[in-house]
Amino acid sequence: MLELDVPAPTNGDAPTPLLQLEINATGLEGQLIVFPPAQLKLPALPAQAWEALLPDPLVLQRLNELEAGKLLERARTAAQKGDWAGIDRLLDEAKQRFADNPWVQEVLASMAELARQKEQAHFAKEARYSSRLMNTRLASKEEPLAMLGEAEAPAFLRRKSAQGKTQFRDGRDENKPV
């Protein structure tokens, strides 16, 4: 995720260049892969149209996940100190703050269950894995629609409520339909 501070356009109707990317990579066989340069431009808009723009729901969802990941890291630190009351406060705050994100709510419910067990190492490990996934996972452009078909999504796009062994019950993944 990238955040840019963009000055107001000064050249009338011309798009404002924001950034240019040039990417080169090495393939599995050692061959050089060169992608054509790409430039991101912001179209010129009247001030009223700019103010009327709505935030992108997928971007807001990913921002929430990043913030939830940071909160889980704080809960992990609290677990390492044995601060279970602090963990409860953090999880309660997160439940309210991320009420509109079903996946984050599932993760928080899983973490709350672990917090009730007061197993420091298990909680800290699961918080670390969940935080890492929230901070680094890939997202699909069709993700809001894919929530219903999560089990059919490629493994790298699935959002599991638990990252460690707790996600398995009787040898099956709790996130897959039976």
Q: For 93-149, how does the pLDDT look when each residue is reduced to its tens digit (9 = 90+)?
A: 999 999 988 888 888 998 998 898 898 888 898 889 888 888 877 655 565 544 445
Of 6-10, 26-30, 159-163, the one with minimum mean pLDDT is 159-163
In tens, the pLDDT along 33-91 reads: 999 999 988 887 777 887 788 888 888 888 888 899 899 999 999 999 999 999 999 99
Structural domain includes residue 90: yes
Q: Residue 62 sits in which domain range?
A: 57-139+147-164
Report the number of distinct structural domains present in the chain. Answer: 1
Q: Give 59 or 11, the one with higher predicted confidence.
A: 59
Structural domain includes residue 11: no
Structural domain includes residue 151: yes
Query: Could you tell me the CA-to-CA distances from 21 to 24, 36, 107, 141, 177 in Å, in that order?
Result: 10, 9, 35, 20, 41
Structural domain includes residue 63: yes
The predicted structure's pLDDT at residue 48: 80
8 Å CB contact between 27 and 33: yes
Please state, for a pLDDT cut of 90, what percent of the chain lies above it.
26
The predicted structure's pLDDT at residue 158: 54
Structural domain includes residue 115: yes
Structural domain includes residue 50: no
